[in-house]
């Protein structure tokens, strides 16, 4: 089997929540490094040569998964950036189902405990990141988002290329 580019899997969010998070990312992420929209990564590196099997399993599991609410609970430091934290038992369960199916394919990073977040700033001076974290935390009000499906992407070193979206029921 030929080695191909890796795949990234992200959670698709409702339009309103995505628009807010993407606007934050466009505002605070260094523009020269911001090639992709705001996203909540579920898996960072799935084997591209397994794309057909991955898509088939995503279609099957997504049809069985109802849309679900996620709580956007606050912000966290990434050291050189800032992210919004999200929480949902349904997300944990859905991701665990995928991880069990793909266990032998997962990298060490994708085997770690999943901490759902959307990065809106990265690769900046730590002082700038601390300042943004303090400013956004002071005005933060928790809100709800909705997981509506998953997006599968090719990673070829630059902007991601969408393979497919699998919508939840």
State residue 1's pLDDT score. 47
Three-point CA angle 31, 155, 78, nearest 5°: 50
What pTM, to 2 d.p., does this model score? 0.94
Q: What is the pLDDT of residues 51-108, one digit of tens each?
A: 999 999 999 999 999 999 999 999 999 999 999 999 999 999 999 999 999 999 999 9
Sign of the CA dihedral with 116 first, then 117, 123, and 127 last: negative
Q: What is the pLDDT of residues 131-168, one digit of tens each?
A: 999 999 999 999 999 999 999 999 998 889 999 999 99
Distances 134 to 74, 82, 117 between C-alpha atoms, Å: 11, 10, 17
CB neighbours of 133 closer than 8 A, spacing ≥ 6? 75, 76, 77, 82
All domains of the chain in start order, with CATH: 7-167 (3.90.1140.10)
Q: What is the pLDDT of residues 126-138, one digit of tens each?
A: 999 999 999 999 9
């Amino acid at each position: 089997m030929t080695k191909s580019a890796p795949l990234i899997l992200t959670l698709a969010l409702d339009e309103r929540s995505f628009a807010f998070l993407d606007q934050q990312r466009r505002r605070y992420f260094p523009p020269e490094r911001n090639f992709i929209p705001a996203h909540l990564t579920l898996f960072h590196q799935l084997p591209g040569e397994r794309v057909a099997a991955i898509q088939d399993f995503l279609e099957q599991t997504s049809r069985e998964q109802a849309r679900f609410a996620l709580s956007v609970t606050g912000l966290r430091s990434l050291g050189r950036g800032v992210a919004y934290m999200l929480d949902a038992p349904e997300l944990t369960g859905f991701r665990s189902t995928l991880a069990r199916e793909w266990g032998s394919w997962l990298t060490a990073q994708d085997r770690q405990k999943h901490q759902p977040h959307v990065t809106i700033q990265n690769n900046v001076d730590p002082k700038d990141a601390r300042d943004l974290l303090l400013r956004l935390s002071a005005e933060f009000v928790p809100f709800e988002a909705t997981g509506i499906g998953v997006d599968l992407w090719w990673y070829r070193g630059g902007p991601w290329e969408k393979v497919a979206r699998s919508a939840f029921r």
